[in-house]
Structure 1
Amino acid sequence: MNFEKYPFEKLNELLTDILPNDNYELSVLTIGEPKFETPHFIQEKLKETSSSLRKYPSTIGEPFLRESMINFVQNRFNVSLEMNQIVPTFGTREVLFNFPQFALFDKKNPVMAFTNPFYQIYEGAAIASRAEVIHIDLTKENHFKAILSDEELKRCDLVILNFPNNPTSASMSKEELGLWVKKALEFDFILVNDECYSEIYFDEENKPASLLEASIFVGNTDFKNVLVMNSISKRSSAPGLRSGFIAGDAKILKEYLQYRTYVGCASPVPLQEAAAVAWNDQEHVMEFRKIYKKNFEIAHELLGITIPESTFYIWLKVDDEIEFTKNLYKEKNIKVLPGSFLGRNGLGKGYVRIALVENEEKTRESLKRLKDFIDG
């Protein structure tokens, strides 16, 4: 299999011979990893339950974990799920990679579509599935929203959307997502939305919609052909817990669960215990949202950027993303990610992605350096 280098490996190669300005402390604004301590109540639960390491974890996950995830979906999206409509996963990266291989295995000439620019695991899954790829190009002209023609959709076996979007920060409404559900039913393809940024939002009256909500909105109440994936990593500042889920169409999930028994990605029971208390709690998530909102207010103040509806990324327009990245590192000791490393066919060119995942003090200092660099 011929996989592309990961964006961060490309970045390391790009910057390898550059000596950064050591008058500044290194500021890494590249990776979407929250830099905040995992809340203590989650850590304590992990410690308290460490004795259950003596148990083999089950593939389906403990009932208390699935119940906590179902509670999250109910409380956040007002969507009621049954136990057979949700499967815990080891974060979302592994399921985004292996689910397409499961879903496309029996297809003679599989076709997979996904948003572009993208989280590179989508492309890796397509390569591993020997699938033809149709890119759903997200551009300034289409407001970074997902659009494909009927002719393209007729050919698709699997479509992966990612809203709220990484890296563009775009969102799609329940009504817009509902149109995709209708197309999934009309042309009989599996539709997935990667929703791992759904909880990083800044307006309680305008929260990001789930594809599950959209499915119910258009009358597809049993979620036929519709699945969502979500993760605890961003919402709880706990990427090390590796707790995610895939939820929706029970018929697909029943077959996928059997497949998972061979994958060997069951989460250790103490991690399930800690994840369950995190999924069940909303207050700590609200506190993290306040931090991210403040970071964007700083970015608006210093850089004039429009505060997005959700995610913690700035998709910053620049003249030449490669030269910008190199010179910013050299002059200000700041690392950002060239947008072209995240896209194909020219998508992402002329942009850099900036992750606002530090505290207020570090964010202000880094963005002030960035502003000084931009102002020349």
Structure 2
Amino acid sequence: MNPRLSSLQAYPFERLRDLLAGVHPPALPLIDFSIGEPRHPAPALVVESIIEHLHGLAEYPKVLGADTLREAIAAWASRRFTLPEGFLDPEKHILPANGSREALFSVAQALTDSGSGKDLILLPNPFYQIYEGAAILAGAQPYYLNCEASGQPDYRAVAPEIWQRCALLYVNSPHNPTGAALQAEDWDFLVATARQYDFILAADECYSEIYFDTPPAGVLSAAARSGSLSKVLAFHSLSKRSSIPGARSGFVAGDAELLAAFRLYRTYLGNAMPPFIQAASAAAWGDEKHVIAMREDYAEKFAAAAEILGDLLPVERPDGGFYLWLQVGDGEAFTRDLYAVQHVRCLPGTYLARAAHGAHPGVERVRIALVGPLDICREGLIRIRKFLQTFS
């Protein structure tokens, strides 16, 4: 057995299950804010495309994906991030993935070598736990960058000796769970730093299309400003953008040399996207109407949160994403007591972070995922208000 498996920590939802074991909530319908799984109906054009292309079950899918899918992805990314014509070559710079999660994990296995002296994989803290697991199973040491008051790490404060040991940097913007997005100048700094110190910049931008005012800046725009995709990999997903997590559809875009090696790895892994999902994905990347409607739905839910909880807790609409990252004191106690009194489930922030550099950025927080229908979210938020008023 791989000895590194014993170093993996329990996934947040396993820890949540243990925390709530033996708690007997009241006879109210469960409202689950714990998991970031979009629950909007799948767009009709996606469903229709899957049905239309089910004949693809008779074909082995190709790791590189169909030309039509890669062209649709390149066209979307070029529009979204205002890229020069031809900057993204669908043949060399795009690789479909079964959601961003599996690609974010496997990129560390395929493209890093802990024996080279580059023994660190850097990640924000709090973080998506896939980053930590990927680092450990790749034989690297996770190095946690605590998020500041801004909701993102201060990347400019990282010491040169840490950058020198860095094999790969995971960046999440907008960030899960804080919702904070990097600015264009931050991306410019990270692109330049990746090239200066020779590490891979893995930009997880799966929440980039859930925003409320200004579209978040992206790493591909910074790469275009620099004139090169060297050392840059951008990860995107339809799970959040189009509310189809069950389709497991995303892509990686960037450095052609890195993607050629990653494609070889994935050929052996055998995780090509089914043809009918490819067809549906191409349709989704080509349509913005359903995404605009989705953003309006999330805006309504954040407005409801501010209305219902704003006088009791500091509720701020994030730059992007669909999470409330609430400061509540003891996050585990809050989660357990809320479940016991109101049958509402959220996630303690301590399960999404680690103690590092003398601080633990999640211990006083809880994450609330506003992913359900508006009426269900309102009901859950009202129950949280009642809990706060009674047990504060």
TM range (shorter): over 0.9
What does residue 261 of structure 2 align with? Answer: 255
Per the normalisation by structure 1, the TM-score is: 0.96
What does residue 32 of structure 1 align with? Answer: 36
**Offset, 1:106:** 6.6
* Aligned-pair Cα RMSD in Å: 1.2
Q: Which amino acid aligns with 1:43?
A: V
What does residue 376 of structure 2 align with? Answer: 362
Q: Which amino acid aligns with 1:20?
A: P
1:240 aligns with 2:254: no
CA distance in 2, matches of 1:28, 1:231: 23
Higher mean alpha-carbon deviation, 161-170 vs 358-367, is at: 358-367
Corresponding residue SS for 1:154: helix
Corresponding residue SS for 1:234: helix
CA distance in 1, matches of 2:64, 2:193: 30
What does residue 105 of structure 2 align with? Answer: 97
Q: Is the 8 A contact 1:146 1:161 kept in 2?
A: no
Q: Is the 8 A contact 2:114 2:138 kept in 1?
A: no
**Offset, 1:61:** 0.5
Q: Which amino acid aligns with 2:305?
A: A
Q: Deviations over 1:224-283 (max 9, x none)?
A: 111110000011110111111111111111111111110111011011111110111110
Q: Deviations over 1:273-309 (max 9, x none)?
A: 1111011111000000000011001111112211112
**Offset, 1:68:** 1.1
Per the normalisation by structure 2, the TM-score is: 0.92
1:214 aligns with 2:222: yes
Give the counterpart of 1:189 among 163, 184, 199: 199
Give the counterpart of 2:88 among 81, 99, 103: 81
1:329 aligns with 2:349: no
Q: Is the 8 A contact 1:115 1:146 kept in 2?
A: no
1:119 aligns with 2:128: yes
CA distance in 1, matches of 2:57, 2:369: 35
Give the counterpart of 1:344 among 348, 354, 375: 354
Corresponding residue SS for 1:233: helix
Q: Is the 8 A contact 1:168 1:315 kept in 2?
A: yes
Corresponding residue SS for 2:387: helix
1:266 aligns with 2:280: no
What does residue 19 of structure 2 align with? Answer: 14
Q: Is the 8 A contact 2:151 2:178 kept in 1?
A: no
Q: Post-superposition, which runs of at least 4 consecutive aligned residues in structure 1 deviate over 4 A?
A: none
Q: Deviations over 1:185-239 (max 9, x none)?
A: 1111111110000000011xx210111112223x2x2211111100000111101
Gapped regions of structure 1 (runs ≥ 5): none
CA distance in 2, matches of 1:105, 1:286: 41
What does residue 140 of structure 2 align with? Answer: 131
Q: Is the 8 A contact 2:148 2:154 kept in 1?
A: no
Gapped regions of structure 2 (runs ≥ 5): none
Change (3 A) 1:209 1:365: same
Q: Is the 8 A contact 2:123 2:145 kept in 1?
A: yes
Q: Deviations over 1:319-367 (max 9, x none)?
A: 1001100000000100000000011112311000000001211111111
Corresponding residue SS for 1:87: strand
* Matched positions, count: 370
